[in-house]
Structure 1
Amino acid sequence: MSWVATEQDALVRTLRSANPDAPTLCEGWDVRRLLSHLVQREQGPVDGLKDAVARRPPGQEPGLSRLTDRARSPYGYARLVDRFVAGAPRWSPMSWAAEKINFVEYVIHHEDVRRGGTSPAAPRDLPAAQQEAVWKQLGLFALSLRRSPVGVRLATPAGETRVAKAGDGVTLTGEPVELALWISGRREAAQVTVTGAPDAVEAFRSWAEG
């Protein structure tokens, strides 16, 4: 089984057992709305584009609101989970390129559900091969770090490293999933350490928080 299929199966189990009204790490989104996003992303790209153009605050997106409102009942929520299981149409890149497009997306949103709320779950003990699969895809996610005022290096406890921005600066150390969470903005929930010269760390943190 591919890693994207493995992660989708795990995410589906979590979604079925979660409280749909529980908060997630995504500002303004509860579990039900995050699930609506997953379905819209793969099966309703036009509505997703309309939501992006509308530029409404998180939790007020028109297209997502319609999906979310239809999933208010237990039956409606279960049906929405079933739609996510069905996945994107075969012609869609979300289907035939799912390993590259959806795998890390699923990992991040899975942790959004697991670690949201007042009693966040601990990081999962994932197989080393799955962490390695996330590591291999971090390059694209790390492009945003090129705007950092100092150099940035990514590192794992196993000793793997990758330069996100050349130059002296800071090192972000954590398991690949934790690094993916940090880079995508889930910084308080991510178990990542930032090290380097004090002035570099201060400059980097100021940039990251801004």
Structure 2
Amino acid sequence: MSVSHDERTALADLFLSVGPDASTLCEGWTTRDLVVHLVVREYRPDAAAGMFLGLARGHLEKVTGEESTRPYEDLVASYRHGPPRWNPMRLIDRFANLTENFVHHEDVRRGGGEWSSRALPRGTRDALWRATGFAARGLIIPSGPTVRLVRTDGTGGEQETVTVGSGAPEVTVTGAAPELTLWVFGRDKACDLTLEGPVEKVARRDL
């Protein structure tokens, strides 16, 4: 098992618990919209290309519409199962889907407006921190302010830092690894963090 698997299982359970019409942190998306997105991403790579390529967007919209007509419980069951055997993503699920499953789990947990951070095991927090450092270098546009991510829940309480960019001014984002993950992935308004500097000037690439 892996952190990605654990987050997938917990999110599938939560999907069923809250139903298809619950709010999420993904603007304009209900839980049905979110699980459709996750299923298309793993089961329809031909359509998922439209998430990144404008020329394929029409096909993505068509397939998304078709998947949206499936019973909600069936969609959740497909997501719970993970990528199908023919999809190479299944072999690297623990890496490829770690932040995807965690962030979307929190999208549902925190989507209702009232939320609290989870007390996650150290292994989970360490895995998220490693993945966040990698993701930050791909998502944060380095031509903007220098961004320093400062983790406060490392081994022995020692701070760990990831820095992206080298320009001025500097933005420092401080907190526990899971909260930093959510910030890097754009969940700015639903994180428990300390922010210093002109955070509004930080730009991220579209997901």
With the length of structure 2 as denominator, give the TM-score of the two structures.
0.84
Equivalent residues in 2 for 1:141-180, closer than 5 Å? 141-143=135-137, 144-158=139-153, 159-166=159-166, 169-180=170-181
SS state of the match for residue 189, structure 2? Answer: coil
C-alpha distance in 2, partners of 1:151/1:133? Answer: 24
Instruction: Confirm or deny that 1:133 pairs with 2:134.
Output: no
Which residue, 70, 87, 96 being the options, matches 1:101? 96
The residue type equivalent to 1:138 in the other structure is T
Distance in 2 (alpha carbons) for counterparts of 1:80 and 1:64: 12
Q: What amino acid is aligned across from residue 16 of structure 1 in structure 2?
A: L
Distance 1:207 1:69, change over 3 A: same
Aligned mates of 1:23, 1:167 — CA distance in 2: 37
Report sequence identity in percent: 38
CA shift, 1:167, in A, is: 5.5
CA RMSD in angstroms comes to 2.2
* Structure 2 runs not aligned, ≥5 long: 154-158
Residue 124 of structure 1: aligned partner: 118
Give secondary structure in 2 for the equivalent of 1:137.
helix
Quote the Cα distance in structure 1 between the aligned partners of 2:103 and 2:50.
Answer: 24
Residue 68 of structure 1 and its aligned partner are, at CA, apart by: 1.6
Q: What are the ranges of 5 or more consecutive residues in structure 1 without an aligned counterpart?
A: 71-75, 196-200
Of 144-153 and 37-46, the range deviating more from structure 2: 144-153
Deviations 1:147-192 (A, max 9, x none): 3522211111231211222366121112222111111111111222
**Larger relative contact order (CA 8 Å, sep ≥ 6):** 2
Task: Indicate whether 1:82 and 2:83 are aligned.
Answer: no
Residues matched between the structures, number: 194
Contact 2:140–2:202 (8 Å) recurs in 1: no
* Structure 1 outlier segments of 4+, above 4 Å: none
- TM-score, structure 1 normalization: 0.83
